[in-house]
Amino acid sequence: MIPVYQPCLTGREKEYVNQCLDSTWISSRGEFINRFEKAFADYIGAHHATSVCNGTVALHLALEALGIGPGDEVIVPTFTYIASVNTIVHAGATPVLVDSRETDWQIDPEQVRRRITPRTRAVIAVHLYGAACDMEALQRICSEHRLFLIEDCAEALGTLYKGRHVGTFGDVATFSFFGNKTITTGEGGMVIAREKSVLESAYHLKTQGVSPVREYWHDVVAYNYRMTNICAAIGLAQLEKIDAIVEKKRQIQQWYEQALSGLPLRMHAELPGTRHSYWMCSVLLDDGTQRQALREHLKANDVETRPFFPPAHTMPHHYSADAFPIAENLSARGISLPSYPALTEEDVAYVASRIRNFVESGGMQKTRPVDQQAPALVS
Ligand SMILES: Cc1ncc(COP(=O)(O)O)c(C=O)c1O
């Protein structure tokens, strides 16, 4: 079976983890925490970073560190991984779902503008599948309306917008290091913030709100969201290889683009002025009704795939009868293909040949060549 993802642990991960074990610093204190946070902030181009135990709590902390809570509305795309929406509810605020853009599959700034009310406090830009959102448009809207801009970069490590790493455009940004992410710590996450005070607040909340000067004194209802030294050790070793990992992922995308050329599907475009990190090599089928049959065909040929996220508004706890036509359409037509860094050109050729074989045996109508034209960056 060619899996959708597997971590690439070929660097100093074992050596660093053994250092944790040998030193007995296996909990959430130890030298690797600071080393990983510092190296991560440097890589992103951020002033400050604080590690956490996953990308979901990173979002929860980001919201609470900005003071978002009951009575506040936060605008978020319905087409996203569920944590981007659930964490707004965890913070006691109300998610306001908006549609995405067909061109780049990301939150639509025009839809954001339409859903602003006097209660809106923040917008969450989720950089989905490794592409960047339209940050100029979102920054403009947020500054006009005095809203916080939060970037969910769980799927976008290595992604650039106009030469800057995503996560550096908003007030606060979050990352995930789950096992299928561009770098992994098993489970893990990071919060970065523009203002030191916001990061200090995130740090305070992640460490049980403990007083820095009085032992066992807690001045706020807070959490234990800390990362362990062992996870940070793995993260540091992973980060040492980030350039090679992103380069390889971009190479894999190119192999897919060549091998899938001419088929009735579209790959995720790299918009002008951005660098896509291809967390997932994803395709949008012209005919979404064929998706399940194609996935089954690939599974029968030992290729694992993933469907796109169902929009949040279709789930019972975030249900909305409002129309989100683009999100629904993208969600119904998308498949993520195997995308891990150790894939070889032969692996990619094999996956593509199985897709081609499905199309040629009548599984999908061959209607038009793959659309490699990057649409204009709207901002
Ligand atoms: C867009 C997005 N946000 C948040 C998360 C949550 O991260 P984690 O799984 O580390 O909690 C994910 C994870 O898969 C994600 O894809």
Residuewise pLDDT in 10s, the chain (379 residues): 999 999 999 999 999 999 999 999 999 999 999 999 999 999 999 998 999 999 999 999 999 999 999 999 999 999 999 999 999 999 999 999 999 999 999 999 999 999 999 999 999 999 999 999 999 999 999 999 999 999 999 999 999 999 999 999 999 999 999 999 999 999 999 999 999 999 999 999 999 999 999 999 999 999 999 999 999 999 999 999 999 999 999 999 999 999 999 999 999 999 999 999 999 999 999 999 999 999 999 999 999 999 999 999 999 999 999 999 999 999 999 999 999 999 999 999 999 999 999 999 988 765 444 443 334 333 3
Helix (H) or strand (E) holding 144: helix 135-144
Q: Could you tell me the distance, in angstroms and rounded to a whole number, from the CA of residue 363 to the centre of ligand 1?
A: 33
Encoded amino acid at 359, one letter:
V
Atom of ligand 1 nearest to the CA of 176: 10
Atom of ligand 1 nearest to the CA of 54: 10
Model confidence, pTM: 0.95
How far is Cα 129 from Cα 283, in angstroms, rounded to an integer? 11
Q: CB of 189 within 8 A of CB of 53?
A: yes
Q: Could you tell me the distance, in angstroms and rounded to a whole number, from the CA of residue 368 to the centre of ligand 1?
A: 34
The alpha carbon dihedral of 5, 7, 168, 278 has a sign of negative
How far is Cα 192 from Cα 196, in angstroms, rounded to an integer? 9
- Choosing from 80, 126, 176 the residue with most ligand 1 atoms within 8 A of its CB, the one to mutate for a pocket test is 176
Q: Which two tokens stand for residue 99?
A: 């549609």
Helix 229-239 and helix 242-259, axial crossing angle in degrees, nearest 10:
60
Contacts of 222 (CB under 8 A, 6+ apart): 204, 205, 206, 207, 208, 209, 210
Q: Could you tell me the distance, in angstroms and rounded to a whole number, from the CA of residue 361 to the centre of ligand 1?
A: 37
Atom of ligand 1 nearest to the CA of 57: 11
CA 115 to chain centre: 23
Atom of ligand 1 nearest to the CA of 87: 4
Residues contacting ligand 1 via CB (< 6 Å): 54-56, 80-81, 83-84, 126, 152, 154-155, 176, 178, 189
Encoded amino acid at 72, one letter:
D
Residues forming beta bridges with residue 280, ordered by sequence position: none
Q: CB of 53 within 8 A of CB of 190?
A: no
Q: Which two tokens stand for residue 31?
A: 């030298």
Helix (H) or strand (E) holding 235: helix 229-239
* Active-site hit among 181, 206, 241, 249: 181
Active site residue 248: no
- Choosing from 5, 87, 106, 155 the residue with most ligand 1 atoms within 8 A of its CB, the one to mutate for a pocket test is 155
Q: Could you tell me the distance, in angstroms and rounded to a whole number, from the CA of residue 176 to the centre of ligand 1?
A: 6
Q: CB of 33 within 8 A of CB of 190?
A: no
Where does the chain show beta strands of DSSP type E? Answer: 48-52, 73-77, 94-98, 120-126, 148-152, 160-161, 164-165, 172-176, 189-193, 265-267, 274-275, 281-285, 306-307, 334-337
Q: Could you tell me the distance, in angstroms and rounded to a whole number, from the CA of residue 216 to the centre of ligand 1?
A: 32
Torsion of CA 97, 102, 104, 106, to 10 degrees: 0
